[in-house]
């Protein structure tokens, strides 16, 4: 598997897409460390970029972070999440 150089928007779209595919809404959460390792294997950049992208998505309100260091997609913003992933992963 070759590593690619993805933009921040593509990394964010990949994070959201993985949350959608895993069905991570409300009850089901994914650990941030696991998400970081999945994406680090795909890109050339380091894990700090992935962590920064996760934090930016949280500030935008598309994902939520729990006290146990896990994340999930905000179900009420599902249309925006799908639109974002289609725009950048399309």
pLDDT digits (tens, 9 = 90+) for 12-51: 999 999 999 888 887 788 899 888 888 887 776 677 888 8
Helix, strand or coil, per DSSP, at residue 2: coil
Higher pLDDT, 27 or 2: 27
* Statement: the pTM of the whole predicted model exceeds 0.85: yes
The separation between CA 47 and the C-alpha centre of its own chain, rounded to angstroms, equals 13
- Architecture of the 8-89 domain: Orthogonal Bundle (1.10)
Share of the chain above pLDDT 90, in %: 47
Q: What helix, strand, coil percent values describe the chain, rounded to 5?
A: 60, 15, 30
Q: Look over the chain and give the mean of its residue pLDDT values, rounded to a whole number.
A: 87
């Amino acid at each position: 598997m070759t590593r690619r150089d993805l933009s921040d928007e593509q990394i964010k779209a990949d994070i959201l897409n993985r949350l959608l595919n895993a069905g991570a809404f409300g009850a089901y959460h994914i650990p941030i460390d696991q998400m970081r390792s999945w994406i680090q294997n795909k890109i050339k950049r380091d894990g700090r970029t992935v962590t920064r992208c996760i934090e930016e998505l949280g500030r935008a309100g598309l994902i939520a972070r729990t006290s146990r260091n896990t994340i999930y997609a905000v179900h009420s913003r599902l249309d925006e999440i799908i639109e974002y992933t289609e725009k950048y992963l399309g």
